[in-house]
Amino acid sequence: MNYFITGTDTGVGKTFVTALLTRALRSAGFDTVALKPISCGDREDAEALRHAIGGELPLDAINPLWFDAPAAPLVAAREERRAVEKADLQGWYAALRQSRKSLLVEGVGGWLAPVSEGLGGAEFAAIFELPVVVVVANRLGCLNHALLTIESVRAHGFTCAGLIINHLQPPQTISKRTNPAILRELADVPVLFEIQPGQRSLDLAVA
């Protein structure tokens, strides 16, 4: 299984979901590794993915580009007067692709977060040539964000493989209680999983 994992926004739980899915796939016998090509701010997300694969790869292999500023890569790279080189990312990914049958690649921020000059979010995703899974945080406004993201993923020529709904908190409001059903009704892509608060494992049999 190989996917590019994006989100409707930053802070939706992409890394948490990617780590859960990585551990589940590895438990099912896949050689899955999770990758985070670009980190901005600290490297906690990349460390979490490394932990999910039992430290099998060094941190720099999982996360080759790291910027100090907690901002979009375009901004963070400018702050350090560095560049995100598409060719470097292509070479890094090609080497891993040859050695693994199962890769999960986590994007940066939301789907269209700018990566560098001339490299928007969709162009960044195109480096990896993978179907896209969208992580949606269950909160007010997520219906609009999810539907717009699916529309954009498809408009850029990608396959949207499905949604993963991440319940950041118990669904106590009417919007949170009804969002999953409405997404199943309107999204025209499968809801692959619903992740509950504090969930620590994933049952692939429910996918």
Active site (catalytic) residues: 36
In angstroms, the CA 90 to CA 123 distance is 12
Structure tokens at 65: 């580009």
In angstroms, the CA 142 to CA 149 distance is 10
